[in-house]
Amino acid sequence: MPVRLSAKLLRCALSVLLLATTGLWGCGRGGAPGPQPSPPPTADGGTGQEPGEEPAPPESVVGDWLEYLTLEEKLGQLVWVGLPGTELTAEAGQLLAEGKAGGCIFFGRQGSDPETLRRLTADLQRAATARDRATPGLVIAVDHEGGLVQRFGPPFTQWPASMALGATGSAEYAEQVGRAMARELLAVGVNMNLAPVADVNNNPANPVIGTRSFGADPGLVARLTAAFIQGLQAEGVSAAAKHFPGHGDTEVDSHFALPVIPHDRQRLDQVELVPFRAAVTAGSDAIMAGHILFPAVAQDGRPASLSADMLTGLLKGELGYEGVVITDAMDGMAAITATYGVEEGLVLAIQAGADVVLIPGSFGREDALYGVLLQAVRDGRIPESRIEDAAARVLALKEKRGLLPPLPDAAGGEHTRTAQIVAGAPTGGPAGGDDPIGAPVHQELADRVGADALTLVRNAHLPLAPNPDDLILVIGPAHANRHDRGDGVVTALGASIKELHPNTREITLERSPSALAVAAARQMAAEAAVVVYAVSDGHEHPEHVSLMGELVAGGRPVVVVGLGMPHELTAVPEIATYIAAYGDGDAHLKGVGPLLFGRAEPRGRLPVAIPGLYAAGRGLDLH
């Protein structure tokens, strides 16, 4: 009976912990409190409380669940999987029916149709709970950062990149965006956002983080990380800050190789760990461990996701993190697959202190991978106490998010199922009001953030004051959202300029344009009085570098708008007027027109340095 005794002791410890914090039904420690359940009314209609008395938080049932679940079922809570498309497959259904998965990760392959997503999340939850035994509901998660990484396209609101939030410097914006995102995700039954990116992006050569980061200043990233977490969780969606202990200062993408960060521990404390400490304080439901090697801390020589020094020693020990530690994908990133292999990687991750392992792309192999972990437990490679601790953390998160249905009663009665165990997993349309997906108020917020992020780095030509007959040529990004209004403009950028100067034409160029396309742009520019050249990471593409340099040397006013990392000036230092926009979505582009003509002030400040030219914090005013 030692396992049962351990579970009871753990239940007591959890109860004490919960009573000492803000309670399991809010957003977690440090966050804005969520809705609290009302105490049951007394016979006379009162609450049974003395005036001014705070309602007692509900008693945790995590200990009861730990006693109830078998070892095999506890292990299942630690395994989160993916789906190949928009249907619940027979293999996934069987996995859920056997209690071998505790969560599901959505990607772009699940589509963006709200009704399809609602049906799929409802099918998943039904499959997870349609067992003869009581079973926790599923965590259903998605990468919904905004900007470059947002799996759900329209009609969901398309949010500006995190770096745009960094350029505004506004924690209020970060919280508002987190809240709005949460409302849209819950409307389709998604209850975890694999965000925010808490990486400090201080390496201009970083190939994978870029505008996904809030910026290069640890204090700024920490403030916005905490606010974003609080916004998500105040609306009932779990946050998962990533990629611990920091993927910002690397020139290697962990999708393709293992990044190694050579800095000492003092530097780690002063830079990379600052936002993750803020995430711990903010009560982030989850923290995602990256496949990144920090030799100064990981004496075992393993990436953070597999390192006991990093996960158990640093994150859970020194930083005191009590939430759920999840890994980045274990089955699709060469930092793991090419070095350890998926099977061994899973075992090492759980050994090291990961509470959840993600295998979102192992379709049809999930049962075998689960079997690898179970065998490792039976062989003693993974202690049962490690499974117990990890399951307790996952169950505590699920309790907080309403994912624990009633257990059988003490007399052994049947499990009482509720019609819908997840408040945010509707079987039809969203309950309680208008559909929040793509709501006008959300789009207005996205546009406001994008406009306020615009940063005037250099200025020799603004505000523009062209004659009515002067042609303004816009060279826009071909990969931006196309509007094709039939009036000579293609993107939201062209539309924002034409609205204020009717004689505007727009052409678009690819990231790596053909010689024919470059020649056409050159010819049209020769006829223009002003050229507005918008480009994503143009400094990385010789075709754009050459054309920008040629147009600037031609003598006409050229305004360059950087739509990625703001580094075009490093390749073409002759650019006299430069605006950093941090993304190519409509929200990034709509505010450019008013700024060009002095109808709006540039409010953004560089959240990263432009190497050799400007420090973070630079931003000019028009007037």
pLDDT digits (tens, 9 = 90+) for 59-115: 999 999 999 999 999 999 999 999 999 999 999 999 999 999 999 999 999 999 999
Residue 334 pLDDT > 90: no
Average pLDDT over residues 29-53: 37
Reported confidence tier of residue 255, pLDDT bands at 50, 70, 90: low
Which residues, 6 or more positions from 439, have their beta carbon under 8 angstroms from its beta carbon?
157, 180, 183, 184
Which residues, 6 or more positions from 391, have their beta carbon under 8 angstroms from its beta carbon?
66, 69, 74, 75, 77, 78
Average model confidence (pLDDT) across the chain: 88
Around Cβ 219, how many Cβ atoms within 10 Å? 12
Reported confidence tier of residue 254, pLDDT bands at 50, 70, 90: low
pLDDT of residue 116: 98
pLDDT of residue 207: 58
Taking the C-alpha atoms of residue 106 and residue 125, their distance in angstroms, rounded to an integer, is 14
Of 152-161, 291-300, 318-327, 547-556, the poorest mean pLDDT is in: 291-300
pLDDT of residue 332: 79
Q: Looking at per-residue confidence, does 205 or 377 come out higher? A: 377
Reported confidence tier of residue 251, pLDDT bands at 50, 70, 90: low
What type of residue is 497? I
pLDDT of residue 31: 33
pLDDT of residue 206: 67
Reported confidence tier of residue 412, pLDDT bands at 50, 70, 90: very low
pLDDT digits (tens, 9 = 90+) for 343-359: 999 999 999 999 999 99
Residue from 325, 361, 332 nearest 240 by CA: 325
Q: Looking at per-residue confidence, does 423 or 339 come out higher? A: 339
Reported confidence tier of residue 592, pLDDT bands at 50, 70, 90: very high
Look up the pTM and report it: 0.88
Residue 374 pLDDT > 80: yes
In the numeric block, which tokens belong to residue 168?
Answer: 């505004």
Supply the DSSP symbol for 567: -
pLDDT of residue 247: 81
Residue 33 pLDDT > 70: no
Reported confidence tier of residue 339, pLDDT bands at 50, 70, 90: confident
Q: Looking at per-residue confidence, does 48 or 127 come out higher? A: 127
Reported confidence tier of residue 202, pLDDT bands at 50, 70, 90: confident
Active site residues: 255, 328
- With a pLDDT cut of 90, the percent of the chain lying above it is 78
pLDDT of residue 80: 98
Residue from 305, 295, 288 nearest 352 by CA: 305
pLDDT of residue 257: 66
- With a pLDDT cut of 70, the percent of the chain lying above it is 85
pLDDT of residue 333: 79
pLDDT of residue 220: 98
pLDDT of residue 29: 29
Taking the C-alpha atoms of residue 301 and residue 307, their distance in angstroms, rounded to an integer, is 8
Average pLDDT over residues 566-595: 97
Residue from 201, 222, 198 nearest 145 by CA: 198
Which residues, 6 or more positions from 481, have their beta carbon under 8 angstroms from its beta carbon?
158, 491, 492, 585, 586
Reported confidence tier of residue 259, pLDDT bands at 50, 70, 90: confident
Average pLDDT over residues 209-234: 97
> CA distances (Å), 439 to each of 25, 156, 185, 442, 445, in order?
27, 8, 13, 5, 10
Count Cα atoms within 13 angstroms, Cβ side, for 582: 35
- Residue linked to tokens 């990607």: 107
Residue 290 pLDDT > 60: yes
Around Cβ 461, how many Cβ atoms within 10 Å? 15
Asked if 191 and 425 touch (Cβ cutoff 8 Å), the reply is yes
Q: Looking at per-residue confidence, does 39 or 236 come out higher? A: 236
